[in-house]
Structure 1
Amino acid sequence: MSAASGAFGVRVVDALLARRPAERVVAAVRRPDRAAHLAARGIGVRLGDYDAPDTLRTAFEGADRLLLISSPELDPERRVSQHRAAVEAARTAGVGAVVYTSFLGADTETDGAAAAHHATEDVLRAGGLPHTLLRHPFYSEAFLNPGLKAAVAAGELVDRTGARGINTASRDDLAEAAARVLTEDQHLGRAYDFTGTLWTYPQLAEALGRVTGTTVVHRARDDRSPGAQGWLEDQVRAGALERQTGDLAHVLGRPPAGLDQAVASVLRGPVA
């Protein structure tokens, strides 16, 4: 798997090691010297840099299946170039199949957050390698994070989402789904549109209250948050995160984590 030392990659490693022996898992990372924690678990660690295609070919040698975790590069053109190099390296190395972490909507959207993923899906189709597409929603952690402790302390959760639905999924659920796709045969050739359980900020306020035993009131605000948070709120207000499918539950063989479970995980128990 590529980008194995990132926040998502290490979770996939955990999920894979629950299903396969360590000697059958290989992690391709940009800085092997910073991946001692992976090597200590008995898995193979190889140099695999998206900007150095030769290292990718070596890193992918002998792989039956490759999890191609999308590059964190923000520039779409450079990101697609990196992904194209990785797909070509996989073909040259004789990889049997590629599993790619795409983005929800990449099948139809050609700009914005989905642009590079749409182009990469085209690269995979043109490349001829058997592949599976895992179209991720936004991570739950983009909204459900330790900052919620401040809302509990204040007894008030304030947002600007218009009480519209949010279909995020946790990294842990998405990582388990990736591990299942990598180790099960029935997913080859499929494209999955993953969504978690739909939730709203008023429901989040109620969940915070249930988990902590503290009353948390929801209040809408008019002013836009700065930066990326404001952009995310705009997406929610426009209804862009309300799509729902059963694909994640199907691959997991169980429902994705619910809101109370996610909140409890974030807060790590009751907050005084």
Structure 2
Amino acid sequence: MIVLSAASGAFGRLVIDQLLARCPADRVVAAVRDPRRAADLTARGVQVRLGDYDDPATLRAAFTGAERLLLISSPELETAHRVGQHKAAVDAARAAGVGSIVYTSFLDADTQPEGVTAAHHATERHLLASGMPHTLLRHPFYSEAFLNPGLRAAVASGELADGTGGRGVNTALRGDLAEAAARVLTEDSLLGRAYDFTGALWTYDQLAHALSRASGRPVVRRDRHDRAPGAQGWLEEQVRSGALERQTDDLPNVLGHPPTTLDQAVTAILTETAPAAPA
């Protein structure tokens, strides 16, 4: 049996899609904070169990019978709270007799104990100390933070604002990372390792060309010198510092094929039907 924690989130649902293409639905269990939000999974034959990161007793019950557990990192942003949730989940998995844990960590969590990787670093150390068999899937930033329907505005205006200083971006799409997780969960030979996942390096100059090719309209990259609002501004600062240029072959090696290309991602975004306006 394969159990997924935090399974009702966007990433968890993508992993379930991949698992259902590889194994019977009755082998898949979705542990969620609110089972009422997962009625669609029940309808697909997936067993849905209550599993709340803030209630360890529910986690022990949710993880019972699991040969493999995909421990999807908590969406909690406060580091101490997140670490506590992850430690409780690992301890619950050990108490429930889970065979092996696959944890969605973050790139460089093994070497950087502070900042965005702090909770992941602490969780990796707790997993090691637990003595449980485990596999680490260190994710990069999601490509969707940069590649999203907002790019349609660049096509409409013919200009792509760029605050990255021309540096490379090594993000990966959720879908590719979800497929990789499903492969690890279902292929014995992939277990017991630490994977440092990155997508193929791309730049905003390449993105502008990809938008032009996909739309049939010229799109020109334009340097933006003011800071983008909110999280986007912080992300662009990371790119400008070179923090998103690390490259490995781990993702294509686990997938068994190249990750989604920039052109494929852009084409999917521009051809996706926009949601209808409310009446």
Amino acid at match of 1:205: A
Counterpart among 159, 164, 168 of residue 165 in structure 1: 168
User: For residues 208-219 of structure 1, what are the structure 2 equivalents within 5 Å?
Assistant: 208-219=211-222
Report what 1:178 is aligned to.
Answer: 181
Equivalent residue in structure 2 for 1:249, among 224, 249, 252: 252
Residues 123-167 of structure 1, C-alpha deviations (whole Å, 9 max, x = no match):
000001100000000000000011000000000001110110000
Question: 113, 123, 129: which is aligned to 1:110?
Answer: 113
- Contact 1:212/1:270 (<8 A) preserved: no
Q: Is the 8 A contact 1:12 1:175 kept in 2?
A: yes
Q: In the alignment, residue 225 of structure 1 is paired with which amino acid?
A: A
Corresponding residue for residue 90 of structure 1: 93
Match of 1:142 in 2: 145
**Which residue in 1 is equivalent to 2:5?**
2
TM-score by length of 2: 0.96
Match of 1:38 among 41, 45, 49: 41
> Secondary structure of the residue that 1:219 maps to in structure 2?
strand
TM-score of the pair, normalised by structure 1 = 0.98
Q: What is the alpha-carbon distance in structure 2 between the residues aligned to residue 214 and residue 109 of structure 1?
A: 43
| Cα distance per residue 1:169-215 (max 9 Å; x no partner) | 00000000000000011122200000001100010000000011110
In structure 2, the residue matched to 1:64 is: 67
Deviations 1:91-122 (A, max 9, x none): 00000000000000101001111000000000
Residue 277 of structure 2 is matched in structure 1 by none
The answer for the alignment partner of 1:151 in structure 2 is 154
Which residue in 1 is equivalent to 2:125? 122
Runs of 4+ in 1 over 6 A off after TM superposition: none
How many residue pairs get aligned? The number is 271
Percent of paired sites with the same residue: 72
User: Residue 166 of structure 1 contacts residue 199 of structure 1 at CA under 8 Å; is this kept in 2?
Assistant: yes
The letter of the residue matching 1:61 is T
1:199 aligns with 2:207: no
Do the aligned partners of 1:212 and 1:269 also contact (CA within 8 Å) in 2? Answer: no
Structure 1 vs Structure 2 CA RMSD: 1.1
Tell me the secondary structure at the aligned position of residue 121 of structure 1. Answer: helix
Q: For 1:135, what is the secondary structure of its paired residue?
A: strand
Distance 2:66 2:252 in 1: 27
- Structure 1: 5+ residue runs without aligned partners? none
Contact 1:211 1:269 in 2 (8 A): no
